[in-house]
Amino acid sequence: MIKKAIANSMQKSPWLYHVNTGSCNGCDIELVACLTPRYDVERFGFKLAGSPRHADIVVVSGPITSQSKERLLRTLEQVPEPYCIVTLGSCPQSGNVFKGSYSVEAPIDKFCHVDVAIAGCTVKPEAVIAGLYKATEILKKKREAMNK
C-alpha cells in the first residue's frame, strides 16, 4: 500500500529543476509564465526546486552550447532516481536556428535520454503544461518499475 501511495505521490508532486543551456530566454519565460495565476501549474503540485538533488523533472532549454554541455551532464548526474528529462522548445531537439554553429551540440539525445520533448519556438504555456503532465505519468511508471 505504501508503495502504491509513493508511486501516486510521485505523479502528484513533481519538482522542477530548470537548466538553461544557452537559450534565448524565450522558452524560459514561458516556463515561468506557467507558474503565474493564469496557468498556475502549482495546482498539479509543480514547484521550482533550487537544487538538482531535489528535482524530479529536469527541464532543459536552449541549444546546448559546447560550454554548457559538460555542465548540463554534470548536473544531470546529480539528480536522484527516479527522474525525467523534459526539453523545452525546438532548440535542444534540433539546434533550431543555431543549427550548424560550431559551438552548438544539439540535438540533446546524442548524450542523454529524453523523456518528453515539448516543441515550439517559443513553446506555448499550454504545451508546457501538457508536456510536464506527461512527464509526471512517466515518473510514476519509473517509480513503479523500481518497485519490481
Of 36 and 103, the one with the shorter C-beta distance to another protein is 36
78 binds another protein (CB under 8 A): yes
Interacting residue with another protein among 25, 66, 74, 145 (CB under 8 A) = 74
Interacting residue with another protein among 13, 94, 96, 101 (CB under 8 A) = 13
Sole window of 67-75, 86-94, 96-104, 110-118 interacting with another protein (rule: CB under 8 A): 67-75
45 binds another protein (CB under 8 A): yes
Q: Are 84 and 125 in contact (CB under 8 A)?
A: no
115 binds another protein (CB under 8 A): no
Residue from 145, 141, 142, 143 nearest 6 by CA: 143
72 binds another protein (CB under 8 A): yes
The site for another protein (CB under 8 A) is made up of 2-3, 5-10, 12-14, 19, 37, 40, 42-45, 48-54, 56, 68, 70-75, 77-78, 80-82, 143, 146-147
